[in-house]
Amino acid sequence: MPKKTIILFFLYITTNFFGQTFSGGLKLNIQERIKSGDGRQYVTTESITIVLNDSITHILTTDQEGSVSIKSLQKGKYKVKIIRTGCQASEVRDIIIGEGKTAYVTLLLTCASYINSLTKKEKRKLGYK
């Protein structure tokens, strides 16, 4: 058997049977509801608690664009919940992380400052007391 064939066979076996699994990532853009303007603003340089699939917890600080990144996630389907003090938790389900891929998700928080800025009529219409 020629050397070239042996080398190709060895490469085939090592890449198919002992290949690396490349992890994926998640980039979250965190925004907050506001009453004026376009109705939302970035949550910048704030501490955010992120819970993945009800068990994995990360406490991260958003950047100037309101984004946080989580790297080295196994491929699969994720439920992402974000928690910020003074706001209602926001959750997104069925986010698929592919091998070597990054999923991009925008989450919108409703905070006490927004709810308090609503009129009684607006609160009733949206289901707040």
pLDDT above 90 for 107: yes
**pTM passes above 0.75:** no
* pLDDT recorded at residue 23: 86
Estimate to the nearest angstrom the gap between the alpha carbon of 98 and the chain centroid: 14
In terms of pLDDT, which residue wins out, 19 or 88?
A: 88
Three-class SS state of 12 = helix
pLDDT tens for 52-85 read 999 989 999 999 999 999 999 999 999 999 999 9
Confidence label for 117 from pLDDT (cuts 50, 70 and 90): confident
Helix, strand, or coil (residue 22): coil
**Cα separation of 56 and 108, whole Å?**
21
Please state which of the ranges 37-41, 75-79, 82-86, 98-102 shows the lowest mean pLDDT: 37-41
Has residue 5 got a pLDDT over 70? Answer: no
